Structure 1
């Protein structure tokens, strides 16, 4: 099934904004903790994507049969004391394609680019208890700690977030 899966870097949102917005709406509607609460309106999702790209943000999408089914961002730190690091952000896989290796491929692509950009440390956070915690552990990320009551769910319940890091090839 995933022989046709391609990971592609987007340098422009314009021709993909509607498809990316639908992905975001699906992920949020399915309970994904990526900064939004359901129901997420199309106009809000499109506004988000319009503001994502910058010279220090790499955006990758997973495409199956030329349709976007996942995405990930790599945020390059520009602070003088952090030029060696980057952050993995907003890993999303369409609910119909979860647990099939899409997220893993997206993370591996982000890691590959981080190494090419001479980054030796990756950081990320994810909601405590989410399946993504297992994925990050399996990919060699180390849990550095937890922040309690970090994110609110649609029910108003507060959830902790886990902070992870991974050291990459040193330069």
Structure 2
């Protein structure tokens, strides 16, 4: 078993580094205009109306700016990019260069939200929760690594534990 342990550790480290290198941040937030508030505080009443409950995001917390199609300026890392495909003029080559469409607003949910400093008072207007992605590794070379959520990579853990179990069973002769 000990002679296989170093190989198993090496495979696990390689798998983890490969998945982390391709990390793209995703999440959910409350989009109000071109700003997505990302720190969820919980449920709250909308202007004190107990019949009007909304998801509340921190008005003073971290935000992401949505870069809409106001002329192509290139992909902006650390922001939510939304623009359609097109062509831009490249002066050095004296030609038009095509660029692909990017839409990092993955979905707009039907969940109503607002931005406020706390859940008891609501200062912002109503909006909807969006699912977003930022820092596409195709464009952002220095994307910070994300932690590996266990449920997304359960197959790798099952494979590793199964391999270790298979080695132990074959060594000990437990099978009849």
- The structure that is strand-richer by fraction is 2
Give the TM-score range, shorter chain: under 0.3
Q: Report the structure number with the largest CA radius of gyration.
A: 2
* TM-score scaled by length of structure 2: 0.22
Higher relative contact order (CA 8 A, sep 6+): 2
* TM-score scaled by length of structure 1: 0.23
- The structure that is helix-richer by fraction is 1
